[in-house]
Amino acid sequence: MIQDHYVIRVAIAGTGRMGQAIAASLEQQEDRELAGLWGRGDDLDALVASSDVVIDFSLPAGTRQVLDSVVRQGKPLVCGVSGLDDDLMDHLDRAASTVPVVYDRNMSLGVAVLERSVREAAASLGIDFSVAISEVHHIHKKDAPSGTALKLGEAVAAARGEEGTGSVEFSSERRGEVPGDHDVVMSSPTERLSFAHSVTTRQVFADGAIRAARWVVRQHRGRYTMGDVLFEN
């Protein structure tokens, strides 16, 4: 594990918009610096070896390679890639048995607070309240409901003793360039409780990933979430 005063070298897997946003943010950091970005055809092992932590915002196919590399090199990982299938999630869990891994479908700090809030509300209100989650994203996003909506639904269901997303209802909309809006509404015949989170720029995901990178280098092996980053000492 790394001491707090150490300058952390961060490798980024993925050269798309999120990778570029994280790289730009690192240029403004005093205690974190960019080790490099990995794209198709680049030497991943060499980049991982030169870093203290890896942030993965590539694609599921790339995530498999990243998981193998961080295990070989013994480096912590922050992974924000959505759409991982069961096989890749098992692969991620195996990697987390060797190195510390922060995996979350949404790196926003605000969403971590939202998840905790809806879990506590669902546990208190119980099944007498129906729960509906709506989400809006840009037209380029293919999966629906979003990973974040499913994550919130799972938190509600778990708090109420249900499997998966339980009885939570979902609605999705794709329009414009909306980075991501999520609304959770809990209703009874006599009252309604609403939670909302809106993203105005994808920079929030970059900021959350960088904060997670600073946190995970001080952890032991295991799988963590942004809730752990935000709420665990």
Residues labelled catalytic: 137, 141
The rounded distance, in Å, linking the Cα atoms of 223 and 74 is 14
Half-sphere exposure of 228 (CA within 13 A, CB side): 19
Find, among 16, 93, 26, the residue nearest to 62 by Cα.
Answer: 16
Residue 188 DSSP symbol: -
Q: For residues 39-68, b (16+ Cβ closer than 10 Å) or e, as one string?
A: eeeeebeebbeebbbbbbbbeeebbbebbe
207 phi and psi, to 5 degrees?
-65, -40
State how far Cα 181 lies from the chain centre.
15
